[in-house]
Amino acid sequence: MNKKKPVTIRPFLQTKYSYEKLRICNHCKSFTVLWEDQCASCGKDALMPIHTKAKIKAKRSMRNELLAALLFTLVGVWFGRDPMQMTLCAIVGILLILLLWNVQRRMLPYVIPQEMESLIEDEEARIIEGIKHNRQTAISHLQNNEVMTYEMLREISTLVHNDRIRLQQVVLLQTFILRKDMDLVIEPLLLKDFDTDLAAYIGEISKVQRDLIKNQTIRYILTYEAQILEMEHGRDIMTGVAGAAVRMKKYVDSYPEFIRRYARYLPKDRFMRLYQLIRQHPEQSWGHLAEEVSRIHSDKYTQG
Amino acid sequence: MVTYVCLGVLILFVSLNSLSYISNRKKSPSFEEIDEQLISIVNGEAKRHE
């Protein structure tokens, strides 16, 4: 029955900005978000982040301005009528070149984003084409290497935000045996609508990496609670999430009624965590949760 | 005469370039804006195809 495979997923390199994943080939100008060393279009070893490309462009333009200023200075010196005029022209020219160089140096951090903006605007079609090509590459590995496909889709999804790519990742993740040491995520994969694979994935995550269960995930399973409960292991999924939620007081504060509904099914360690949390804060208003927890405690854990 | 013309042109060139850098400084987008722009381009096109 269990067709899940043990796999090793390479860690995901998180960047502060999504654009940091995008690279341009300096030779053929095609774009990629994947990690290949050589450009998939021309085969050249010329891929660079768009920030680097913009910096090179900005510096080249600044260098050309300095060269133009130098040329004016040299022409002025060349046509000087006497040494006095030539010296004056050389001194003024050098001072102006230094002034321009200083302004350029100070303004470089502001020029680079402008260059990046114009690069993105000018190369819009190539960027979209590059990402389409990346998706085709990812799908082409589906038959022989599902892990590779998942890893590629994960990279692409830093820029492509839609339910289709999220669902493709969830479906692939559901074919893997998930472990504590894997670099997994939930919130970027949450769909707009209900999906059984996603619900099952959340249930598994609540067991192996409960730190990933946060507000958005709790809200998702609460929105589709009725559909989840219709699933074969629906109650286990809800209980798993409730068990993960009790790790932090803020979630118990925010969702006391949800936790109350599943408190009876919590494993002993999760229940005792909830019990201790409530006991440590007697002043807190928990609704019916405190009564229910106290009742379960006396029913299940105080006998013998 | 040519020397003075060159110096004049140079002064004008450096002044205009410096002013252009300083005035464009305020128009420089933040990295967050660049990120949003890129994501909207990529996803805008994707939505049109879906």
pLDDT (tens digit, 9 = 90+) per residue, B5-47? 999 999 999 999 999 999 999 889 999 999 999 999 999 854 5
Contact A136, B17 (CB under 8 A): no
Inter-chain contact A92–B7, Cβ cutoff 8 Å? yes
Phi/psi at A23 (5° precision): -125, 150
B44 or B50, which is more confident: B44
d(CA A196, CA A271): 26
pLDDT (tens digit, 9 = 90+) per residue, A12-38? 998 999 999 999 999 999 999 999 999
Residue A234 has pLDDT above 70, yes or no: yes
The chain-wide mean pLDDT, for chain A, equals 93
Substitution target in A14, A20, A120 with the highest count of B β-carbons within 10 Å is A120
Is the minimum CB–CB distance between B31 and chain A shorter than 8 Å? yes
Residue A284 has pLDDT above 90, yes or no: no
pLDDT (tens digit, 9 = 90+) per residue, A44-71? 999 999 999 999 999 999 999 999 999 9
A4 or A189, which is more confident: A189
ipTM above 0.85, yes or no: yes
Q: What is the mean pLDDT of residues A164-170?
A: 96
The pLDDT assigned to A302 comes to: 80
Give the C-alpha distances (Å, rounded to integers) separating A160 from A50, A164, A202: 17, 10, 22
Give the C-alpha distances (Å, rounded to integers) separating A230 from A13, A223, A233, B33: 37, 14, 8, 43
Q: What is the mean pLDDT of residues A127-146?
A: 94
Q: Which of A109-118, A169-178, A287-296 has the lowest mean pLDDT?
A: A287-296
Q: Which two tokens stand for residue A256?
A: 């006391």
| Single-letter code of the amino acid located at A66 | L
Inter-chain contact A116–B34, Cβ cutoff 8 Å? yes
Residue B48 has pLDDT above 60, yes or no: no
Residue A304 has pLDDT above 80, yes or no: no
pLDDT-derived band at A210 (thresholds 50, 70, 90) equals: very high
Residue A99 has pLDDT above 90, yes or no: yes
Residue A228 has pLDDT above 70, yes or no: yes
Q: What is the mean pLDDT of residues A194-210?
A: 95
| pTM (two decimals) | 0.85
d(CA A260, CA A245): 12
A–B CB contacts, 8 A cutoff, strictly below: 118
Residue A5 has pLDDT above 70, yes or no: yes
The pLDDT assigned to A197 comes to: 95
Helix axes A146-156, A163-173, angle to 10 degrees: 150
- Å between A298 CA and nearest CA of chain B: 54
Substitution target in A79, A119, A134, A157 with the highest count of B β-carbons within 10 Å is A79
